[in-house]
C-alpha cells in the first residue's frame, strides 16, 4: 500500500537501517524524528551491548511516540557489495522471525534497500514477496497474521503491484487468490 510507515497502527514497523543504527536520513531519520529520541537512544544502547547488526540479526527498540509498539531495525544490502539477493532475503526473513519471537500479530515494512542503498526496486519486490510467502508457508506456528508492505510513493507501489502479479498470477478460472 502507499502510505507513511510511521503512521502504521501495527505491532511493529520495520526500519531499513544501517549496521550501526545511526538514524540520520531516509526512512530511519523520519522514524526517529516522529517517534522521538528514545528510538535513537535505545538503538545506541543496542549497538553498545550487542555490536553492529547484520542482515541475519535485526535489532528492535520501542516505538516512542509512533502508533506501533516496536521498531524492528533490519539491515539490507548495499547494491554492489555482493550477494545482495541473499542478503535482502535474509533481512526480510529475520525481521519476520523477530516479530514472531516477540509474539506480534501485525508488521509493516518498507522496500528495504531500495532507497539510498540502491537495490533495484523490481528485483527487491520479487525477493521480498517470495521471502514473505516462504516464511508464512514454513511458519505455521507464527503469531504473525498480517504483513503489510508500505511504500511512500505511487511509482514504487505500481512496481510492487506489477511484480506481485507476476509472482502470484491470478488463477486460470478468473478468481482471485
pLDDT in tens, 46-61: 999 999 999 999 999 9
pLDDT value for 22: 95
Domains of the chain: 5-167 (3.40.220.10)
Task: Give percent above pLDDT 90 in the chain.
Answer: 84
User: Is residue 130 predicted with pLDDT exceeding 80?
Assistant: yes
In terms of phi and psi (left: phi > 0; alpha: psi -120 to 50; beta: otherwise), the region of 82 is left
- Nearest CA to 91 among 30, 126, 132? 132
pLDDT at 175 over 60: no
N-to-C CA span, the chain: 17
At a CB cut-off of 8 Å and minimum separation 6, what does 116 contact? 25, 26
Min mean pLDDT across 18-32, 81-95, 101-115 is at 18-32
Q: What is the mean pLDDT of residues 6-23?
A: 95
Cell triple for residue 86? 541473499
CA–CA distances in Å: residue 147 to residues 21, 77, 95, 108: 23, 21, 11, 6
- Contact between 63 and 3 under an 8 Å Cβ cutoff? The reply is no
pLDDT at 173: 45
Relative to beta strand 146-149, strand 106-109 is parallel
Residue 108: band (very low, low, confident or very high) from pLDDT cuts 50, 70, 90: very high
Residue bearing cell 538503538? 43
Q: What is the mean pLDDT of the chain?
A: 91
SS3 41: helix
pLDDT classification of 169: cutoffs 50, 70, 90: low
Number of other CB atoms surrounding residue 50 within 10 Å: 10
Amino acid at each position: 500500500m502507499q502510505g507513511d510507515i510511521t503512521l502504521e497502527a501495527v505491532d511493529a514497523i520495520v526500519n531499513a537501517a544501517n549496521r550501526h543504527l545511526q538514524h540520520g536520513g531516509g526512512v530511519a531519520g523520519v522514524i526517529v524524528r516522529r517517534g522521538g529520541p528514545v528510538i535513537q537512544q535505545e538503538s545506541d544502547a543496542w549497538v553498545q551491548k550487542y555490536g553492529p547488526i547484520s542482515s541475519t540479526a535485526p535489532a528492535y527498540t520501542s516505538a516512542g511516540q509512533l502508533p506501533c509498539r516496536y521498531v524492528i531495525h533490519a539491515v539490507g544490502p548495499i547494491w554492489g557489495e555482493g550477494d545482495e539477493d541473499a542478503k535482502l532475503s535474509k533481512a526480510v526473513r529475520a525481521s519476520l522471525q523477530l516479530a514472531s519471537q516477540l509474539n506480534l500479530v501485525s508488521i509493516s515494512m518498507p522496500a528495504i534497500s531500495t532507497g539510498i542503498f540502491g537495490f533495484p526496486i523490481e528485483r527487491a519486490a520479487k525477493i521480498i514477496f517470495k521471502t514473505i510467502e516462504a516464511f508464512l508457508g514454513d511458519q505455521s506456528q507464527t503469531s504473525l497474521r498480517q504483513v503489510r508492505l508500505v511504500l511512500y510513493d505511487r511509482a514504487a507501489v505500481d512496481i510492487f503491484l506489477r511484480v506481485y502479479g507476476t509472482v502470484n498470477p491470478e488463477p486460470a478460472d478468473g478468481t482471485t487468490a
